[in-house]
C-alpha cells in the first residue's frame, strides 16, 4: 500500500463527498442498517465475540504502556473492566509534536486519502463499535450501531472532504508577473499551509464517536496532530477508531502518534492540563456548559482556537397541524429516543392556553396532553421496540435529575417508571417524564434538564410562545427547535424569529425524520451563534480556522 494507491482508491469517494457538501442533497457513504447482507452474515456474531473477549482485559490495539487505566461501566448493569494505555500530558504532547512534522509535510490530498482509508477499514468494525457504544452510553444497539458507525463516519468524511476542498481552493504556487511599461517583473510565489498546532479533542459520554470524529478528522486533514481525550466513562468506541487509524499510519511508514488517545479518570482528569499546554493550538469540546465555559476562557487567554458544542434548551411550539396523531407520534418518539440524552432532544413544549388547531378543528390543551401521553405509552410499552428505543441512562446523576424534576410539584402528564431491558436485569432504564406548567415557572424550565424530562408550558398565545422560544435561544442556546403550524404566515414569522435568534428550526415533522437527527452532508449541526456552542458541524470555519496560509516569494 502506497500513498499513490490510496489517492487512486479514494479519489471518487472524496469527489462525491465534496460534491455532496456543496449540493446538500442526501448522501450516505456507509449504509445505516446493521444488516448481515451489507456488512457480512457473520459480522455481528464475530463482533459480539470480540466485545465479550475484550471485557476485563487490556485494550492492546493501541500499543504497550507502563500504566493502564479504565473505569467504564455499562448502564445495562455491569463493569466493562477494560484498561487502556495511559500517558502523561508531557509524553502525549512530545510525541504529538514530533509526529506532526512529517504529517504536515504531506499534501492535503495525501492526508485526506489516508483518512478515508482509515474510515473504510474502521467500517469493518461497525458492529463492535456498536456494542462498545451500547455498553458505555446506554444507547439501544441499533442506535449505537448507526450513531457511532455509519452516521459518525459520514460526519468524519464530511469534515475530511471539506478540509480538502478548503486547502485546495487556490493554487499552491504561481509565477506572478507584473507589467511595468517596456519591462516587467516576475516573482515566484508559493503558499504554505501551516497547521495551528496540536488539536485536542475532548469527547463526551453519550456520543463518544459521533461528537468526536468531526473535530478529530478536521484537525488531521488540515495537518495537525490530534490528541483525543475521551470521557472516562466512554472510551472503548473511539479507542477502536483511533487504533485503526494508527495501524494505517504504521503501514505507510508514518508515525502513529499523529493521533493518540489520552485516557484519564474522573478522579484525576487530564483535560485542563492539556488545554493549558502551550503546544496545544486547537481545542474541540463537547459536553456540559460549565466546563465548556472554563475551556473557552482558557483558550481565549492563551490565544487558542476553540470549537465548542455545549448544551442548550431545545423548544417546540404547538400551534396547528393537519394530523394530530402523526404530529404527536413524531414528537413522542423524539422525547423517547435514547431517553432524551441527545443534545438535540426537545425539552420545552409551548402551547397557547386555548390549545391548537388539528385538522381545522380546535383541540384543548388537555386533549393534546393526553394524546402525547398515549403516543409515548405506545412506544414505551411496545415489547419489541420500546426498550431499544429508550436505551439506558448513561449517568446516575441523570437518573437522579428525573427524581428531582418529579418532585417539583408540577402537574404530571406522564410519570417516569423503570423499564425492563431483556437480558440486562441491572439496567438503568426509565420512561420519559412529562410535566405541565405555565410561564410563571420560567425559573425552572429555562435551564437544561438533560435526560428523559420535558415540560408542556401553557402560554397566552402563539406570539407569546414564539417570544418564549426566541428569548430562550438567546439566553440559553439551542441545537434544535420544532414548530407545528399549518398557518403560512405563522410559519414565516417563526422561521424569521428563530433563525434570527441563532437556532435551526424544523416545521411539521410527522414522518420518519425527527428533530433530534442531523444528517451529514446536508444538515449543519449547530449554528455557532448561541450560548449552546460556537461550532458548526461542518461549515468552512470549522476547517479553515485550523490552519494558516503563509506566503513565500522568490525573485525570478
- Which tens digits make up the pLDDT trace of 392-414? 999 999 999 999 999 999 999 99
Q: Are residues 448 and 466 in the same domain?
A: yes
* pLDDT band at 555; cut points 50, 70, 90: very high
Q: Are residues 327 and 273 in the same domain?
A: no
Q: Are residues 394 and 442 in the same domain?
A: yes
* Residue 232, all three cell numbers: 472516562
Could you report the per-residue pLDDT of 211-231, keeping only the tens digit for each? 999 999 999 999 999 999 999
Specify the pLDDT at position 1. Answer: 81
- Considering the domain boundaries, does residue 190 fall inside one? no
- Considering the domain boundaries, does residue 200 fall inside one? yes
Among 357, 263, 376, 305, which Cα is nearest to 544's?
Answer: 305
Specify the pLDDT at position 347. Answer: 98
Q: Are residues 274 and 376 in the same domain?
A: no
Sheet with 305-309, strands from edge to edge, namely: 259-261, 226-229, 198-202, 280-286, 305-309
Q: Are residues 304 and 239 in the same domain?
A: yes
Q: Are residues 375 and 294 in the same domain?
A: no
CATH of the domain at 72: 3.40.605.10
- Considering the domain boundaries, does residue 24 fall inside one? no
| Domain hosting residue 405, numbered range | 315-507
- Considering the domain boundaries, does residue 267 fall inside one? yes
Count of residues making up the chain: 556
Q: Is 439 helix (H, G, I), strand (E, B) or coil?
A: helix
Q: Are residues 333 and 419 in the same domain?
A: yes
Q: Are residues 74 and 201 in the same domain?
A: yes
- Considering the domain boundaries, does residue 324 fall inside one? yes
CATH of the domain at 500: 3.40.309.10
Domain boundary among 488, 507, 526: 507
* pLDDT band at 195; cut points 50, 70, 90: very high
Three-class HEC string of 242-280: HHHHHHHHHHCCCCHHHEEECCCCCCCCCHHHHHHCCCE
- Considering the domain boundaries, does residue 400 fall inside one? yes
Query: Residue 305, Cα to own-chain centre: how many angstroms?
Result: 19
Measured CA to CA, the distance from residue 266 to residue 151 in angstroms comes to 28
Q: Are residues 233 and 322 in the same domain?
A: no
* pLDDT band at 311; cut points 50, 70, 90: confident
Q: What percentage of the chain carries pLDDT values higher than 90? A: 97
Among 336, 414, 402, 405, which Cα is nearest to 373's?
Answer: 414
Q: What is the DSSP letter of 150?
A: H
Q: Are residues 383 and 467 in the same domain?
A: yes
Could you report the per-residue pLDDT of 14-67, keeping only the tens digit for each? 999 999 999 999 999 999 999 989 999 999 999 999 999 999 999 999 999 999
Location of C-alpha cell 479519489: 11
Q: Are residues 253 and 340 in the same domain?
A: no
The total domain count for the chain is 2
Measured CA to CA, the distance from residue 318 to residue 495 in angstroms comes to 14
Phi-psi region of 77 (alpha: psi -120 to 50; beta: other; left: phi over 0): left
Q: Is the peptide bond before 538 cis (omega within 30 degrees of 0)?
A: yes
Three-class HEC string of 348-395: EEEEECCCEEECCEEECHHHHHHHHHHHHHHHHCCCCCHHHHHCCCCC
Domain boundary among 293, 310, 327: 310
- Considering the domain boundaries, does residue 54 fall inside one? yes
- Considering the domain boundaries, does residue 19 fall inside one? no
Q: Are residues 427 and 496 in the same domain?
A: yes
Could you report the per-residue pLDDT of 252-280, keeping only the tens digit for each? 999 999 999 999 999 999 999 999 999 99
Amino acid at each position: 500500500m502506497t500513498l499513490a494507491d490510496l489517492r487512486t482508491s479514494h479519489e471518487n469517494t472524496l469527489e462525491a463527498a465534496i460534491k455532496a457538501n456543496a449540493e446538500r442533497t442526501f448522501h450516505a457513504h456507509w449504509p445505516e442498517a446493521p444488516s448481515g447482507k451489507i456488512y457480512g452474515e457473520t459480522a455481528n456474531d464475530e463482533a459480539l465475540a470480540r466485545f465479550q473477549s475484550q471485557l476485563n482485559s487490556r485494550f492492546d490495539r493501541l500499543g504497550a504502556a507502563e500504566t493502564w487505566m479504565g473505569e467504564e461501566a455499562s448502564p445495562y448493569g455491569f463493569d466493562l473492566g477494560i484498561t487502556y494505555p495511559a500517558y502523561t500530558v508531557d509524553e502525549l504532547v512530545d510525541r504529538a509534536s514530533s509526529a506532526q512534522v512529517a504529517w504536515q509535510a504531506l499534501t492535503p490530498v495525501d492526508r485526506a486519502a489516508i483518512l478515508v482509508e482509515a474510515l473504510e477499514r474502521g467500517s469493518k468494525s461497525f458492529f463492535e463499535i456498536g456494542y462498545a457504544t451500547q455498553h458505555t452510553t446506554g444507547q439501544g444497539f441499533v442506535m449505537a450501531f448507526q450513531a457511532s458507525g455509519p452516521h459518525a463516519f459520514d460526519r468524519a468524511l464530511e469534515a475530511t472532504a471539506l478540509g480538502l476542498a478548503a486547502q485546495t481552493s487556490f493554487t499552491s504556487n504561481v509565477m506572478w508577473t507584473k507589467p511595468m511599461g517596456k519591462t516587467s517583473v516576475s516573482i515566484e510565489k508559493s503558499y504554505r499551509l501551516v497547521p495551528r498546532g496540536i488539536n485536542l479533542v475532548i469527547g463526551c459520554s453519550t456520543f463518544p464517536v459521533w461528537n468526536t470524529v468531526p473535530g478529530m478528522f478536521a484537525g488531521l486533514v488540515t495537518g495537525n496532530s490530534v490528541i483525543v481525550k475521551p470521557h472516562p466513562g466512554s472510551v472503548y468506541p473511539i479507542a477502536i477508531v483511533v487504533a485503526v487509524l494508527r495501524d494505517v499510519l504504521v503501514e505507510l511508514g508514518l508515525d502513529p502518534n499523529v493521533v493518540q488517545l489520552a485516557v484519564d479518570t474522573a478522579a484525576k482528569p487530564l483535560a485542563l492540563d492539556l488545554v493549558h499546554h502551550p503546544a496545544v493550538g486547537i481545542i474541540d469540546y463537547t459536553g456540559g456548559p460549565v466546563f465548556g465555559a472554563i475551556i473557552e476562557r482558557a483558550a481565549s487567554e492563551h490565544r487558542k482556537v476553540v470549537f465548542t458544542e455545549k448544551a442548550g434548551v431545545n423548544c417546540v411550539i404547538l400551534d396547528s397541524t393537519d394530523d394530530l396523531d402523526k404530529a404527536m407520534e413524531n414528537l413522542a418518539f423524539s422525547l423517547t429516543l435514547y431517553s432524551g440524552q441527545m443534545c438535540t432532544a426537545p425539552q420545552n413544549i409551548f402551547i397557547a392556553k386555548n390549545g391548537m388547531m388539528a385538522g381545522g378543528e380546535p383541540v384543548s390543551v388537555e386533549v393534546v396532553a393526553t394524546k402525547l401521553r398515549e403516543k409515548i405509552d405506545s412506544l414505551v410499552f411496545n415489547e419489541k421496540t420500546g426498550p431499544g428505543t429508550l436505551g439506558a441512562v448513561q449517568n446516575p446523576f441523570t437518573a437522579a435529575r428525573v427524581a428531582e424534576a418529579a418532585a417539583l410539584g408540577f402537574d404530571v402528564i406522564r410519570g417516569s417508571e423503570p423499564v425492563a431491558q431483556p437480558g440486562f436485569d441491572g439496567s438503568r432504564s426509565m420512561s420519559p417524564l412529562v410535566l405541565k406548567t405555565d410561564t410563571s415557572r420560567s425559573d425552572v424550565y429555562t435551564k437544561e434538564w438533560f435526560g428523559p424530562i420535558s415540560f408542556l408550558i401553557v402560554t397566552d398565545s402563539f406570539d407569546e410562545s414564539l417570544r418564549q422560544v426566541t428569548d430562550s435561544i438567546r439566553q440559553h442556546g439551542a441545537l434544535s427547535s420544532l414548530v407545528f403550524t399549518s398557518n403560512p404566515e405563522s410559519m414565516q414569522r417563526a422561521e424569521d424569529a428563530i433563525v434570527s435568534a441563532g437556532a435551526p428550526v424544523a416545521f411539521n415533522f410527522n414522518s420518519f425524520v425527527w428533530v433530534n437527527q442531523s444528517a451529514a452532508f446536508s444538515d449543519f449541526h449547530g449554528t455557532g451563534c448561541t450560548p449552546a456552542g460556537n461550532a458548526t458541524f461542518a461549515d468552512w470555519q470549522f476547517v479553515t480556522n485550523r490552519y494558516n496560509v503563509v506566503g513565500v516569494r522568490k525573485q525570478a
